[in-house]
Structures are given as structure tokens and as C-alpha cells.
Amino acid sequence: MKRLFDQLSESGDGVPPMVFLQFLRQIFPKFAEQDPQYGGYRQQDAEECWTELLTTLDGVLKKDTDQSSVIQQHMSGTMVTTWKTDEAPEEPAVVHQEKFRKLSCHIDKSVNYVGQGIAKGLEQVIEKNSDTLGRNAEYKAVSRISRLPEYLTVAYNRFFWKASESVEAKIVKSVKFPLDLDVSEFCTPELQAKMRPVKHHLRELEDKAALERKLAKQAKRQESDGAAAAPAEAEAEPAAAAEPSIAAGPFVLDDSFKADVGCNPSGVYELVGIVTHIGRSANSGHYMGWVRKEKGVGGPEPKGAGTPETRNWWYKFDDDEVSMVTDDDILKLCGGGDWHTAYITLYRAKKID
């Protein structure tokens, strides 16, 4: 993989990842399965491949150190699950803690937004043996996040086994996802309390940036209209005077966040990458990648709709063909028909400085 990234960095043209694919199929024979009907390799699940890659990287990167790997620090969170049954109120709740590298978005007819799908995945009811009752009972499992990683993967459960056609059919229902995602509602009360001042600080930064854009727009409009400098300054003074109230109060980051390398102390993320699928089944169709362009990196942004201060441009990777699209194009990848549909979304923690 390192060699592949080096080749991509050094070349301005498409790079056939043949060596990487060869090793991938050797390590994971499933990805080397052949299709006896059509010949060639079977199409494999992109989310499964993503999971296997992260698991392998985690093992390789932590092999020579006693510390957590980069994957564990920056891409893995911690989930606390509490099991409780109403049939035996006196029975102590069972609490289990485990690592996770993705949040699953469960999709049914009631889910229209990614947050609703995530919420469904964090609560479930199962039947298991109760030592107190001496029989099976219904237990409700409620999961909450106690540690958020810098990079958060959300996987959309869009495929299901359709027995009548013997195929992994696709749920094409529209599930909207935001450019900015706040997952604090899915966290433990303790983590929410620690994140609260950080979220407030982020809102202050956003308000300040919005005010600066407004003042710059006013100044530009006045300049183009040939307005005198003095009236322009007078008009800007009331807005400028509001700035101290926006940034009022010191910002103190909890010590536990300072010591936790690779965590997200705010619970707020920005979308930076997507894997989409177009087609009607897991065994057919086409996967594509979409990556947000960092402003000021990789050359100037092309001209288009919106304002340069708020608009994001994205690289659209269709095999070896690369083009650029806007935020508006990205938000159309929510599904609802025979179009590219988000299957994996990758979010990055918003910067707090």
C-alpha cells in the first residue's frame, strides 16, 4: 500500500494498482473469487474491503510498539453497551465496552436521514437466558459512544438477501446525509458534558467567520458602488462591535482530551470522503470514490456556483477518470433511484482552532 501511495504521489496520470491487488487477493482469497457464469473476478463488497484493510493496517502498525496504532488512535472509537430486561427489574444491568471502527446506518421505510439510521443501530432487543428468571427473556441493549475518533466511518446497510431471486438486493431509498455531522447525541452523558464547551467554541468560530464574510461582502459592495470610505466604516462598526461578544469567555479543553491522541473532543464532523454504488445488487453495478479538495491545496479552485469562502470542491474518481464536482453534487448522492448512492461516508473531526 505504501508503494501504491508513493506511485500516486509521484505520477500525474492514472496508476494501475496491479501489485496492490495481487497482494490483496493473496491475503484475502475471497477477493480473488471468480464468476463462473461471466468469467473474471466477482464484484466484492466495498465496505468489507475497507474493514479488512483497516484491520490489517492496525495489526501491522502496532506490531512493533506497545502503544496504540494510528488506526486505533485516529479511526477507532469506544462503545459502551448496557443490557437490561424489564422482566426482571432487580437484575443488575450488564455493561460491555468494545472498540468500533464504524457506525452503521440501518435503513427501513422510517429512516430518511443518516442520524435516524445510526440511532436504530444503537438500540436493539434480543432474547437470551436470564440467570435471575431461569428462562429466556427479552433484553434491550442500548449503546452509547464513550470515545470518538478523529475520523469516523459511517456504513449504510443497503444490501439484503432476497431469497426469491437469490441475490443481495439493494435498498435504493433516499437517506440524506449532511456535510457537517454532529454525533454528540449518540454519546454517553459523561462524554457529552466534556464536549459541551468545545461545541460552544466551534459555534463561536463559525459565527465569527460568518460575520467576517458579511463585513467583507458589505465592503466589496460599497467599493463597487463607489461609496465613500467613511460611511462604509461607520456601517461596519456596529457589526464589528459584536465580535467581542462572539468570542467571549476563555476556551478550556478537558485534560482527558489533551492526553487522548486522535480523539474528537467536539462530536462535530465534516464530510471528507464517500464511496458510492450504482446498480441494483451487491454483485453488480459500479463503485466510485469522492474526496473533498482541501482549499489552497492542489491548485486553484475552479469557478462555479456559491462563494469561495463557503463552497467546497470534490474530486470524483471514476476508475482512472477524475473530474471535479461541488457540494451540491455530493448531497445528491443520498439515493432514491438509479444514481450513485452513498455506501460509505468518511467524516473528519472539525478543527477547534
How far apart CA 167 and CA 263 sit, in angstroms, is 39
Largest CA distance in the chain: 85
pLDDT averaged per 10 residues in sequence order, the chain, 353 residues: 89 86 94 86 94 93 77 97 94 95 96 98 93 94 98 97 86 97 98 96 88 85 68 48 47 92 97 96 93 82 60 91 93 94 98 87
Count the alpha carbons within 13 Å of 336 in the hemisphere toward its beta carbon. 11
Q: Strands 159-162 and 94-100, how do they pair?
A: unpaired
* Domain range 45-187+267-349, CATH class: alpha beta
- Would you state the pLDDT for residue 250? 66
DSSP E strand boundaries for the chain: 77-84, 94-100, 103-105, 123-130, 135-147, 151-156, 159-162, 167-170, 180-182, 268-278, 286-292, 313-318, 321-326, 341-349
Position 350, amino acid: K
The separation between the first and the last C-alpha atoms of the chain, rounded to the nearest angstrom, is 32
How far apart CA 243 and CA 240 sit, in angstroms, is 5
Is the full-model pTM beyond 0.95?
A: no
Taking CA atoms, 66 is separated from 59, 63, 256, in Å, by 12, 8, 20
- Would you state the pLDDT for residue 296? 74
